[in-house]
Chain A
């Protein structure tokens, strides 16, 4: 357990504090781990009060939005965070579960390959997206945001599911390569801009859609029943899915990029 004792002035890279790296380490050793803070290095004990002995279940208390890269590249275990978190939560994670009781910054689940991230508050821009230089965004796993999401949700995402219970910002699912994005609130401008394949499921018709999307009319899509039933098994917060689908308005696009993707607006 890591309880933040001093609010860091600059962003801190917490990527060494994952179950994979803490396993078998004594408290003294963990306290001495060096973290990048701004352009300097500081020891864990300068920021956190460290206690407990279960390296598989890590919790961060009184977390701050300056704490970046939490759960980066973790492959198993559970990280629970009380308070806000910074950017790059669960970057390239390969398994395990992260639960945030608060808001998250930008780039949640950047390049994640497996695992599950739950955020009870809002999340920033670029959820599950590809960072400049990367070939694609998240390649599998589930990200679930109970609040609202920022812009560019799922930009260049490759596989996996992103669920936003609230509203999504502009360019939701832009340049989507494949995968599923579900937004139960309102999505912002130019949803699905430049998407190649993949599915964006919306609770309501978005503010605007690019002219390169074609409406295919009202359809009954049976796969939604299967998808939603599967989701309801995953936890209480997914109960709402019981009453949704399978009738949708289907929009195919983006025809500027092949047009194999679809936006499904739930009726």
Chain B
């Protein structure tokens, strides 16, 4: 079936198209070049004066896996206060900051997003996480496997094993969990917490294994690089949320030398400890370091005001935060000695000095990093705020007067302490298209997503061009997923099932021999049951596994 989108203003940064009026042709779910004149157009949409972008890609959003479920269980009021009715097409569900799986898919699609990536999937939880993502309709998904605190890896570090063996283990995990990248959360810190260390700096040795976060980061980043995994090591660094942690963040960037690295929810890692309250913005220093080091990319993890729940694998920082829980309930737990899980509800308030400054720091990072190809738009859903706040965030970035207005509403001392008033930058639609579409796709190695050139999958979002960018981005006029119209004027018109993206780096399979011994001796499941097979993703035929090529492996 040939579909033609007539006369939209196209923003396609991957192909350097900036607001040009042109037609887009979709054939069998793919975007194609202008077909010959004699071919019959089956359906055409007149989208003159509309803004056309590729479908949005959220590079960091917690939509599946253990911690989200624990948060759901702990926070039933979030669910019962926001019920969603069933319609002829969509299923019933509930939840505002932690929507149930189908609702998450619908809401993302209604915002024009067509792919979401779960950033912290514990290998042991992979089956559960993928099942939940399979239950998230319309959008594509993928997951990053969480390493860096698991006993097997830390033992290898402690025994000074060869980099090659570590590479094999990392690749084996990527295969066994059907993931697309590797994430590390508080390298070594979650494990150290279980050995009664309450803080682990970049160069502080682990009490039991003797490893330092610097070593873990370097070797994992090296492994990811050498395996040719497109997305660099996804790092949630040390000392999250501690005033003064900007030094750690800068040291981490320094420690990587030229290795590619992605620093996630960098807002939570950009706090300085100056001023009367020993809490200030470290955003300019972080932004400057990111601008200087082209091997570094970041996503922001913007804080948005309102009730939310923070769910993280970082038990060390969640334990530190538990006194701030609002409402007053929280939990931290170990998960199979592989890592941990901490859930603490938060209510970010604009009148609160710390919350207001967190909000400002996030925006400063957005605005001070010059290259939109290396800064992605996230709220670290649900930790900084639910993903449904993205349109509001986009307006804050694109509209300086709106930003000043919001700045005037927040805590006065925080507003004075922030650098926002002196920043005049406004993001353009082209730059928004980079940070929410083209750049995440490129970073993850998705060659056929995030752009509108011939050969790309037809994930397309059509917006009405409005002055109020919040309204514009909240309710696209049309959303196409793989060439099918799924959302029209904010209403779901068709349910499709997105693909699960993953990579399959090459590795030496003999690693399974030592893994088998380890699993038999220590693990709760057998090695063969631990591995998630491609057939399980495909399920009853509704799931699709999209395997993306790795870069040609480079060995050190």
Closest A residue to B91 by CB, please name it.
Answer: A39
User: Is B370 at the interface (CB under 8 A from chain A)?
Assistant: no
Category for how many chain B residues contact A: 10 to 19
Chain B hits for A235, CB < 8 A: none
Contact, CB under 8 Å: A135 / B328: yes
From 80 to 117 in chain A, residues with beta carbon under 8 angstroms from any chain B beta carbon are none
Contact, CB under 8 Å: A134 / B77: yes
User: Is B327 at the interface (CB under 8 A from chain A)?
Assistant: yes
> Could you count the A-B residue pairs with CB atoms below 8 Å apart for me: how many are there?
25
Chain A hits for B76, CB < 8 A: 131-133
From 58 to 96 in chain B, residues with beta carbon under 8 angstroms from any chain A beta carbon are 74-77, 80, 83, 85-87, 92
User: Is A46 at the interface (CB under 8 A from chain B)?
Assistant: no
Known A131-B76, A133-B77, A134-B77; judge A36-B328 contact (CB<8 A).
no
A111 CB, nearest partner CB in chain B, Å = 10
Contact, CB under 8 Å: B85 / A41: yes
Known A131-B76, A133-B74; judge A39-B328 contact (CB<8 A).
no
Contact, CB under 8 Å: A36 / B74: no
User: Is A29 at the interface (CB under 8 A from chain B)?
Assistant: no
A132 CB, nearest partner CB in chain B, Å = 6
Chain A hits for B327, CB < 8 A: 135
**Complex Cα spacing A41 to B93, Å:** 12
Contact, CB under 8 Å: B85 / A39: yes
Contact, CB under 8 Å: A40 / B75: no
B435 CB, nearest partner CB in chain A, Å = 36
**Complex Cα spacing A13 to B82, Å:** 12
B506 CB, nearest partner CB in chain A, Å = 48
Closest B residue to A133 by CB, please name it.
Answer: B76
Chain B hits for A39, CB < 8 A: 85-86, 92
Q: Hey, what's the 0/1 contact readout for B320-361 against A, CB within 8 Å counting as 1?
A: 000000011100000000000000000000000000000000
Q: Interface SS of chain A: helix, strand, loop or mixed?
A: loop
B157 CB, nearest partner CB in chain A, Å = 41
**Complex Cα spacing A34 to B86, Å:** 13
Q: Hey, what's the 0/1 contact readout for A34-62 against B, CB within 8 Å counting as 1?
A: 10100111000000000000000000000
Chain A hits for B329, CB < 8 A: 135
Chain B hits for A41, CB < 8 A: 85, 87
**Complex Cα spacing A133 to B72, Å:** 10
**Complex Cα spacing A133 to B73, Å:** 9
**Complex Cα spacing A26 to B555, Å:** 74
Q: Hey, what's the 0/1 contact readout for A72-85 against B, CB within 8 Å counting as 1?
A: 00000000000000
Contact, CB under 8 Å: A36 / B85: yes
Chain B hits for A40, CB < 8 A: 85-87, 92
Contact, CB under 8 Å: A13 / B83: yes
A148 CB, nearest partner CB in chain B, Å = 27
Chain A hits for B75, CB < 8 A: 133
Chain A hits for B92, CB < 8 A: 39-40
**Complex Cα spacing A13 to B94, Å:** 14
Closest A residue to B86 by CB, please name it.
Answer: A39
Closest A residue to B75 by CB, please name it.
Answer: A133
Closest A residue to B92 by CB, please name it.
Answer: A39
B101 CB, nearest partner CB in chain A, Å = 15
Chain A hits for B83, CB < 8 A: 13, 36
**Complex Cα spacing A36 to B83, Å:** 8
Chain A hits for B80, CB < 8 A: 131
**Complex Cα spacing A41 to B83, Å:** 10
Chain B hits for A133, CB < 8 A: 74-77
From 100 to 158 in chain B, residues with beta carbon under 8 angstroms from any chain A beta carbon are none
From 115 to 131 in chain A, residues with beta carbon under 8 angstroms from any chain B beta carbon are 131
A115 CB, nearest partner CB in chain B, Å = 20
Chain A hits for B86, CB < 8 A: 39-40
**Complex Cα spacing A34 to B77, Å:** 21
A43 CB, nearest partner CB in chain B, Å = 12
**Complex Cα spacing A39 to B76, Å:** 17
A10 CB, nearest partner CB in chain B, Å = 11
Closest B residue to A91 by CB, please name it.
Answer: B80
Closest A residue to B77 by CB, please name it.
Answer: A133
With most chain B CB atoms within 10 A of its CB, the pick from A40, A131, A133 is A133
Chain A hits for B87, CB < 8 A: 40-41
Closest A residue to B83 by CB, please name it.
Answer: A36
Q: Hey, what's the 0/1 contact readout for A230-261 against B, CB within 8 Å counting as 1?
A: 00000000000000000000000000000000
**Complex Cα spacing A34 to B75, Å:** 26
Closest A residue to B85 by CB, please name it.
Answer: A41
**Complex Cα spacing A164 to B75, Å:** 32
B293 CB, nearest partner CB in chain A, Å = 45
B441 CB, nearest partner CB in chain A, Å = 36
Closest A residue to B76 by CB, please name it.
Answer: A133
With most chain B CB atoms within 10 A of its CB, the pick from A39, A41, A134 is A39
A249 CB, nearest partner CB in chain B, Å = 37
Q: With A131-B77, A135-B329 given, can you name 16 additional A-B contacts, CB distance below 8 Å?
A: A13-B83, A36-B85, A39-B85, A39-B86, A39-B92, A40-B85, A40-B86, A40-B87, A40-B92, A131-B80, A132-B76, A133-B74, A133-B76, A134-B77, A135-B327, A135-B328
- 7 A-B contacts (beta carbon < 8 Å): A36-B83, A39-B86, A39-B92, A41-B85, A131-B77, A133-B74, A133-B75
* 4 nearest CB pairs, A to B: A39-B92, A133-B76, A41-B85, A39-B86
